[in-house]
Amino acid sequence: MTKPMLIVKFGGSSIATPDLRKWVQSIEKTGRPLVIVPGGGPFANTVRQFQTRIGYDAEAAYRMTLLAMEQFGHALVALGEKLVPARTLEAIESAQARGLVPVWMPSDMILSGRNADDTWSVTSDSVAAWLAAQVPGSPLCLIKQIDVPAGSSLQAISAAGVVDACFVALLHGSTRVYVAGPSDLAMSGRRFAEGVLPGREVSSEQPHGAFAEAAQ
pLDDT tens column, 104-163 = 999 999 988 765 555 556 689 999 999 999 999 999 999 999 999 988 999 999 999 999
| Dmax (CA) of the chain | 48
Which range, of 96-100, 197-201, 212-216, averages the lowest pLDDT?
212-216
Distinct helix (H) and strand (E) counts, the chain: 10, 7
- pLDDT: is 110 or 1 the higher one? 110
Q: What structural domains and CATH numbers belong to the chain?
A: 6-215 (3.40.1160.10)
- Residue 95 predicted with pLDDT over 50: yes
How would residue 12 be classed by pLDDT, with cut points 50, 70 and 90?
Answer: confident
Quick one: pLDDT at residue 121? 63
Q: In sequence order, what DSSP letters do the residues of the chain get, joined into one string?
A: -PPP-EEEEE-GGGGGSTTHHHHHHHHTT-SS-EEEEE--HHHHHHHHHHHHHH---HHHHHHHHHHHHHHHHHHHHHH-SSEEEE-SHHHHHHHHHTT-EEEE--HHHHHHS--TT------HHHHHHHHHHHSTT--EEEE-SSPPPTT-BHHHHHHTTSS-TTHHHHS-TT--EEEE-GGGHHHHHHHHHTT---SEEEBSSPP-HHHHHHH-
Quick one: pLDDT at residue 216? 33
**Torsions phi, psi for 178 (to 5 deg):** -125, 145
What pTM does this model have? 0.90
Q: How far apart are CA 160 and CA 99, in angstroms?
A: 37
Quick one: pLDDT at residue 14? 85
Q: How far apart are CA 65 and CA 123, in angstroms?
A: 8
199-215 average pLDDT score:
58
- Residue 211 predicted with pLDDT over 70: no
Quick one: pLDDT at residue 120? 54
Determine what percent of the chain is predicted with pLDDT higher than 70: 90
Quick one: pLDDT at residue 215? 34
Which range, of 2-6, 105-109, 203-207, averages the lowest pLDDT?
203-207
Residue 89: in which H helix or E strand, if any? helix 89-97
